[in-house]
A and B are shown apart, each in its own frame.
Chain A
Amino acid sequence: NAGVMQNPRHLVRRRGQEARLRCSPMKGHSHVYWYRQLPEEGLKFMVYLQKENIIDESGMPKERFSAEFPKEGPSILRIQQVVRGDSAAYFCASSPPRSGSPLHFGNGTRLTVT
């Protein structure tokens, strides 16, 4: 039973380029969460999605960031026109539908903007 799969593991982008981060949840999990971790910090919530629906995006920056979780395929976190401050580790987590279940995290994507 594969865990949460994130790719790529490392991503380098120049300022102004687009970054696409992918996340495949664990089998049977329909809830996906994206978190960002800056160096020496804990994880900060960005967005919570279920299939084809954004449930809560209160942690997403208002511009340049978007997320989707289509009916088929992985969840995508998209960052347009990246800036140096976007450099961070981005973690995806998934959980089953029932409340109270722990979130299972992927290994993260480390984005570096040069």
Chain B
Amino acid sequence: AQKITQTQPGMFVQEKEAVTLDCTYDTSDPSYGLFWYKQPSSGEMIFLIYQGSYDQQNATEGRYSLNFQKARKSANLVISASQLGDSAMYFCAMREDNSGGGADGLTFGKGTHLIIQP
């Protein structure tokens, strides 16, 4: 089974609108972390936001927020007031604290290609 599922291969959004990028995850580990990374066309991976499984509040970083619904195992990324520079691939990733394999490493979803239109 997929550990990280991103169901939106691509999204077109009008500039200044809010965007929600979906991410669901699968783990039996009670302790885990969820991450979002942005990959622009230049190729680098840029860390955006982190949510720990025991965090009580949703993470926020500037225009980015993470809508964490633990019971549904979802960790959607919300970008408010989108900008043209937000056009990129967005990857959701998970780190399981107590699993073997890639200890402290990340499992990535396939990504969502976000295009912001003027």
Please provide the chain A residues from 93 to 112 with a CB less than 8 Å away from any CB of chain B in the complex: 93, 95, 99-100, 102-108, 110
Whether B103 contacts A42 by the Cβ 8 Å rule is no
List chain A residues, Cβ under 8 A from B44.
105-108
Whether A43 contacts B102 by the Cβ 8 Å rule is no
Whether B110 contacts A42 by the Cβ 8 Å rule is yes
Select one of B100, B102, B110 contacting A45, CB under 8 A.
B102
Whether B110 contacts A105 by the Cβ 8 Å rule is no
Q: Is B106 an interface residue (CB 8 A)?
A: yes
Q: Is B107 an interface residue (CB 8 A)?
A: yes
List chain A residues, Cβ under 8 A from B95.
100
List chain B residues, Cβ under 8 A from A93.
45
Q: Is A72 an interface residue (CB 8 A)?
A: no
Q: Is A33 an interface residue (CB 8 A)?
A: yes
Chain B nearest CB, measured from A102 CB (Å): 5
Select one of B50, B101, B102, B110 contacting A41, CB under 8 A.
B110
Chain B nearest CB, measured from A65 CB (Å): 15
Chain A nearest CB, measured from B11 CB (Å): 15
Main secondary structure of the interface of A (DSSP, over half): strand
Select one of A41, A43, A99 contacting B97, CB under 8 A.
A99
List chain A residues, Cβ under 8 A from B37.
105
CA distance A38 to B91 in the complex (A): 14
Whether A110 contacts B104 by the Cβ 8 Å rule is no
Residue of A nearest to B32 (CB): A100
Whether B45 contacts A91 by the Cβ 8 Å rule is yes
CA distance A42 to B104 in the complex (A): 18
A11-19, A53-61, A74-82 - interface stretch: A53-61
- Which residues in B have some Cβ–Cβ distance to A below 8 Å? 4, 33, 35, 37, 42-47, 50, 52, 91, 93, 95, 97, 100-111
- Which residues in A have some Cβ–Cβ distance to B below 8 Å? 31, 33, 35, 40-45, 48, 55-56, 58-59, 89, 91, 93, 95, 99-100, 102-108, 110
**Known contacts A42-B111, A105-B37, then 12 further A-B pairs from the complex at CB < 8 Å, ordered by chain A residue:** A42-B108, A45-B107, A56-B100, A56-B103, A95-B104, A99-B104, A103-B35, A105-B47, A106-B44, A107-B43, A108-B45, A110-B43
